[in-house]
Amino acid sequence: MKTTLSTQNAAAFASPLLAVFAADTNTATGKDAKPQPRLFTANDALTKAAATVLASGEFKAGLGETVLIHAPAGLKAERLLIVGLGKAADVSIHELRKAAGTAVRFAKPRGIREVAIEFPKTELPAAPSAQAMVEGIHVADFDPDTYRSDRKDQSVQTVTLLCTDSAEIKRGHDEGTILAAGELFARTLVNEPGNVLFPLELGRRAKAELEPLGIKTEVFSTEKLHELKMGSFWAVAKGSENPPALIVMTYEPKNPTSKDVIGLVGKGITFDTGGISIKPADGMEKMKYDMAGAAAMIGAMRAIAELKPGVKVISVVCSAENMPDGKAYKPGDVVTAMSGKTIEIINTDAEGRLVLADGLHYAKQLGCTHLINAATLTGACVVALGMLNAGVFSNDDATYEKFNKGLETSGEHFWRLPCTAEYRDLIKSQIADIMNTGGSRWGGAITAAMFLKEFVGDTPWIHLDIAGVAWMEETKPWIAKGPSGIAVRSIVEWVKSY
Ligand code: BES
Ligand code: ZN
Ligand code: ZN
């Protein structure tokens, strides 16, 4: 799909579908709260064409709500689609993102391949508005039905944003296109089943995508894990016929503007059975998405390759299958991580932290001065925050603040949870330095974070637990159900802040 900008007047633009946004301007509550939808445009012809349907009261301008007018009077377009933004006072760039996506997802099942969108007239800054809309447009075009025999390609081929001639809009458009490509690559990877996307295949796909964009991509396996003494990562990997992949991706800026080196570390469990501490059968098929943290990092690297920030970025992805087998690791085993720390295995289903322990340590050894990791790490995080917010943990307030600031642009929802020293006792082991669970169910997302913290030392670090948000259980007007692409945009914003 391609997005373009045009300065043509919307009324004179010939298109199968022209979309315009509307918001509810009524600020009253209670019985006076009758919606008063108003179009976000200065175009008189559009306002006129929409007047009757807006006056009818049948369209309330709720976020993602739509109403379609065929052969709209006074317009060259075959159809006029009015897309709701919700309450006018609450409209941010994130509502624009969703409304633009809604227009695309409206068109897809109706066989409409070209869409035009009137760039909304708002007080919001132009570049972030354009960026968010372009991201929303591309994200909306994705459907997860890859392996259906009767799959019809319902992609929208072109979306034209009708706007003024503005360098800001152009810049936002170009950045949005890059970020969306990173996000879509991540979603494509997460959508793949475990039999197709095993660890070395993840490495192969990362390399095929990133090397042409100038990212050095190395894919190592068993031998390298032994050479680096990654005993924690290997413990997880050794019960599988499919060998592990240690994927190292390096972005080196031409003209560095910073001495920092940013490390992006991803959990890439291409299937999590739980291992010997096997998971219940119900819902186990979902554990193909246990590599969403890795996908987020690979997607972020794809965007970084094209955005070309002035800071060096190294991404380390630790990919393995977590399987029960004669050779699999067992509860009670003691393993030695690359850092030299010994770990008592209590539960083989707490495997994500084990692969990340070595990934984080290795990223530090490669010279990273700041670390971020993403992982579908704990069910406990889903219990704590539901499916609307992902968890974020940090050992450094200033680093967290930088991450939090980027959420204004990314629009993704992360909620900070603690990982302070008082929790350290919960992962103490009798036989080894630490154990791989907190011993009880309570505070499971926090004890997992405490475990990771053991391997980052004093390096400023962010941990994203995306277990609850990496897979969307419901279709929304602006996005299909399935892989969400969570964290790509927020990670890139954070990297840009360096
Ligand atoms: N991959 C799971 C976490 C998960 C749960 C991801 C739900 C997505 C949705 C992880 O490896 C796991 O199984 N964690 C255990 C840890 C426990 C054994 C301490 C969990 O959360 O139950
Ligand atoms: Zn697990
Ligand atoms: Zn897992």
**Ordered structural domains, the chain, with CATH:** 2-165 (3.40.220.10), 181-496 (3.40.630.10)
Q: Whole-angstrom Cα distance, residue 257 to residue 311? A: 6
Query: Can you say how many angstroms the Cα of residue 193 is from the centroid of all Cα atoms in its chain?
Result: 18
Spell out which residues have Cβ within 5 A of ligand 2, the ion: 272, 349, 351
* pLDDT cut 70: percent of the chain above it: 100
Arithmetic mean of pLDDT, 175-183: 98
- Residues with CB under 6 Å of ligand 1 are 272, 290, 347, 349-352, 376-380, 382, 437, 444, 467
How high is the pLDDT of residue 457?
Answer: 96
Residue 145: what residue type?
Answer: D
User: Which residues are identified as catalytic?
Assistant: 279, 353
Give ∠ CA 264-133-47 in degrees, rounded to 5. 170
Ligand 1 pocket test: which of 271, 287, 378, 447 has the largest number of ligand atoms within 8 Å of its C-beta?
378
How high is the pLDDT of residue 321?
Answer: 98
Tell me if 292 sits within 8 A of 471, measured CB to CB. Answer: yes
Residue 200 C-alpha to ligand 1 middle, in angstroms? 23
pLDDT tens digits along 73-132 = 999 999 999 999 999 999 999 999 999 999 999 999 999 999 999 999 999 999 999 999
Ligand 1 pocket test: which of 282, 321, 348, 349 has the largest number of ligand atoms within 8 Å of its C-beta?
349
Instruction: Assign 149 a pLDDT band (cuts: 50, 70, 90).
Output: very high
Spell out which residues have Cβ within 5 A of ligand 3, the ion: 269, 272, 290, 352
Q: For residue 325, is pLDDT > 90?
A: yes
- Which H helix or E strand runs over 138? helix 126-141
Q: For residue 202, is pLDDT > 90?
A: yes
Residue 355 C-alpha to ligand 3 middle, in angstroms? 10
What's the Cα-to-Cα distance from 36 to each of 56, 87, 202, 456, rounded to whole Å?
A: 10, 10, 50, 53
Strands 370-375 and 261-272: parallel
Exposure b/e, 44-76, CB count within 10 A at least 16 = b: ebbeebbeebbeeeebbbbbbbbbebeebeebb
Arithmetic mean of pLDDT, 227-240: 98
pLDDT tens digits along 418-476 = 999 999 999 999 999 999 999 888 999 999 999 999 999 999 999 999 999 999 999 99
Alpha-carbon torsion 167, 171, 172, 174, what sign? positive
Q: What is the pTM of this model?
A: 0.98
Q: Whole-angstrom Cα distance, residue 436 to residue 428? A: 9
Residue 167: what residue type?
Answer: A
Residue 349 C-alpha to ligand 2 middle, in angstroms? 3
Q: Which tokens go with 66?
A: 């739509």
Task: Tell me how far apart the terminal alpha carbons of the chain are, to the nearest angstrom.
Answer: 31
Give ∠ CA 359-363-364 in degrees, rounded to 5. 120
pLDDT tens digits along 14-40 = 999 999 999 999 999 888 889 999 999
Q: What are phi and psi of 482, to 5 degrees?
A: 125, -150
How high is the pLDDT of residue 152?
Answer: 84
Q: Whose CA is nearest to atom 9 of ligand 1?
A: 467
Q: What are phi and psi of 367, to 5 degrees?
A: 110, 5
Q: Which tokens go with 42?
A: 């200065």
- Which H helix or E strand runs over 353? helix 352-365
- Which H helix or E strand runs over 381? helix 379-385
